[in-house]
Amino acid sequence: MAKILLLNGSAHQNGCTATALQEMISVFEKENVETELIQIGNKQIRGCIGCGFCKKNGRCVFNGDLVNEVAEKLEHADGLVVGSPVYYASPNGTVISFMDRLFYSTSYSKQMKVGAAVVSCRRGGNTASFDVLNKYFTISGMPVASSTYWNQVHGFSAEDVKKDLEGLQTMRNLARNMAFMIKAFDMAKSTMGLPEMEREFFTSFPDGK
């Protein structure tokens, strides 16, 4: 059975972001896709320090704040949804710290795992935050699921988001597209395998200066 991890980057377990993610989960259940919702926004999650420990050891040097636990789960998952509230027109600090460390510390291939970013703001900054989160997927060979609008809801409380009917519709359509992509990729992988991925070059400035 296909499995999708969903990260709630908000400290509010039943807030706006959670409401959007729950709307997706209700579709995944109908589509027979297993889900695991992981609450990260209420944890103390420090940022990456670029120490290089993960390159030698395959895991982040900092334990106990879910990054290494989620890394293990992601290796076996088919898709990842990251949900974040918007703070000053960006994903919140917890989500950025978490995603930097999760993506930098995992050396296994994430190629063709499907990614989706979901953002929630009261009024402005959703699309800028959406861009930031999609970049973790698009540097990792992960196809990005899309919907009938950018993956966003609006509200200050869960009750507001429940009134954002188009936002919730966007979440349902996103979940349907994501489930379809995961099932289609699974069929394609069983007949064609994965596309070749070159890793030979790692240049900063071509003249070496």
Quick check: 122 binds ligand FMN (CB under 6 A)? yes
Closest to 171 in 3D by CA, of 19, 13, 32 = 19
Among 91, 115, 125, 143, binds ligand FMN (CB under 6 A): 125
Residue with Cβ nearer ligand FMN (118 or 179): 118
Kindly indicate which of the ranges 23-31, 114-122, 142-150, 173-181 contains the residues binding ligand FMN, using the contact rule CB under 6 A: 114-122
- CB nearest ligand FMN: which residue? 15
What's the helix, strand, coil split of the chain in %, to 5? 45, 15, 40
Quote the CA–CA distance of 21 and 10 in Å, as a whole number: 11
Nearer to ligand FMN, 27 or 86 (CB): 86
Q: Is 6 in the site for ligand FMN (CB under 6 A)?
A: no
CA distance 178 to 78: 10
143 contacts ligand FMN (rule: CB under 6 A): no
In angstroms, give the least distance from the CB of 45 to ligand FMN: 15
Cα–Cα distances in angstroms (integers) from residue 54 to residues 50, 58, 61, 93, in the given order? 9, 5, 7, 21
CB of 7 to ligand FMN, least distance (A): 12
By CB under 6 A, the count of residues binding ligand FMN is: 19
Euclidean distance between the first and final Cα of the chain, in Å? 50
- Compare residues 15 and 143 and give the one whose CB is closer to ligand FMN: 15
Part in contact with ligand FMN (CB under 6 A); list of ranges 27-35, 86-94, 105-113, 166-174: 86-94
Residues 187, 191, 194, CA angle at the centre, nearest 5°?
A: 85
User: Could you give the 3-state DSSP secondary structure of residue 83?
Assistant: strand
Whichever of 120 and 147 has its CB closer to ligand FMN, that residue is: 120
Q: How far is CA 199 from the centre of its chain?
A: 23
Interface positions with ligand FMN (CB under 6 A):
10, 12, 15-18, 85-89, 120-125, 155-156
